[in-house]
Amino acid sequence: MSTDTLVEQHGPGYWRQRAIFRFGTGVATAMILAASFEWSLSMITPIFVAMLLGPPGVRLPHGAYSKLLLAVAFTFAVGIGLVALLPYALMFVPLQTLLLFLTFYRAERGMNPLIVVMLLIAILMFPSLGLMGRNLAIGFALGFLGSLAIALALCALFYAWIPSGPAPKPTPPVLPSEAEAYRNAWLSTLLVLPLLLFFYLTDRSGDLLVLILVAILSQSPGLAAGSKAGLGMIVANLVGGAAAMLFYNLLVAVPTWIFFVLLMWLTALLFGQAIFTSPKGKVFATGFTTLLILIGSTTFSGGGEASTKLILRIGQMLMATGYLALGAWVMGALGWIPRSSD
């Protein structure tokens, strides 16, 4: 039976249940493969599978997977190029600032959010890794791209196995004018730059997540919204962290491979149900990402305590949110952005 015939015979609920099953089975498969073979940066694979199989649960257009992989490869090449300029501070700092501004500007003008995040990772994280060794930055980029390629292949297979329903009607995005986008991009750059210089001068590479989070959240309109989004991320991480610790304790109680497979599948299905049907679906999606990270870092070889990693992650979230709130207050006092009404 063709997909067109199925579309005529079944309503949205039918396609939603298929999407939930595809999501749960696909993410569980990716996690099981990553745990079994543990290739370089294998934990990135289930995270990307969850993103690509998540809402709206519709397959990307033909050729989009290869274009996405090439786009990420290009952004990482930009980051590696920055690493090569690290010894030349007078060239490196202005160029990094300019690239940061251009990324924020393109984000304001409608660039794919995933590519924006990849650019921010390349521009901010790669030079920090390059300070510890150029080969480390290159190895990270290659491992990341390899894990992304595996994730894209898995998604293509699961969409072929369980075809998706009709794509939702696209709503045209409301974009700011070029002048407003230019101004917002500079404000975001000015917010991130002091923290960026502080991290490099003090060599705090262990807290790079704070810098990445500030850069991502500073794109929120008015900047003040970024601190509110940060608080939302803390709540989501607490949800995911609580689920991860329950998962971890159950696995300790029954430390068998088949139990891990079944528990991972059930967990992915339950989160998929919440992500696709709950009004707070985005909160559960962020929480599920936290769960995948914590489970991967505690159950794979070289893992540690889930509670310790959760406390560290929440602490980094609080640092990023506090910095955003302070930056929004300073810019509001200077009259650069409207003061928060809260």
pLDDT, one tens digit per residue, over 318-333 is 788 788 778 877 877 7
pLDDT score of 276: 94
Q: What angle do CA 107, 143, 19 make, to 5 degrees?
A: 65
Helix axes of 257-277 and 12-37: crossing angle, nearest 10 degrees? 140
Percent share of the chain, pLDDT over 90 = 29
pLDDT classification of 339: cutoffs 50, 70, 90: low
DSSP string, 205-264: GGGHHHHHHHHHHTTSTTTHHHHHHHHHHHHHHHHHHHHHHHHHHHHHHS--HHHHHHHH
Q: How many C-beta atoms surround the C-beta of residue 138 within 10 A?
A: 17
What's the mean pLDDT when you consider all of the chain? 83
3-state secondary structure 62-112: CCHHHHHHHHHHHHHHHHHHHHHCCCCHHHHHHHHHHHHHHHHHHHHCCCC
Q: Determine the Cα–Cα distance for residues 286 and 281; give it in Å rounded to an integer.
A: 9
pLDDT, one tens digit per residue, over 66-99 is 899 999 999 999 899 998 888 887 888 899 999 9
- 208: pLDDT strictly greater than 80: no
Rounded mean pLDDT, 300-323: 72
Q: What are phi and psi of 341, to 5 degrees?
A: -85, -5
pLDDT score of 272: 95
pLDDT score of 314: 74
Burial class of 183 by CB neighbour count within 10 A (0 to 12, 13 to 18, 19+): middle
Q: Determine the Cα–Cα distance for residues 128 and 13; give it in Å rounded to an integer.
A: 47
pLDDT classification of 1: cutoffs 50, 70, 90: very low
pLDDT score of 158: 95
- 8: pLDDT strictly greater than 60: no
- 174: pLDDT strictly greater than 80: no
Under 8 Å CB-to-CB from 241, ≥6 apart: which residues? 287, 290, 291, 294, 306, 310, 313, 314
Q: Determine the Cα–Cα distance for residues 53 and 60; give it in Å rounded to an integer.
A: 10
Rounded mean pLDDT, 184-212: 81
pLDDT, one tens digit per residue, over 13-27 is 788 899 999 999 999
- 220: pLDDT strictly greater than 80: no
Contact predicate 222/338, CB 8 Å:
yes
Q: What is the pTM of this model?
A: 0.83
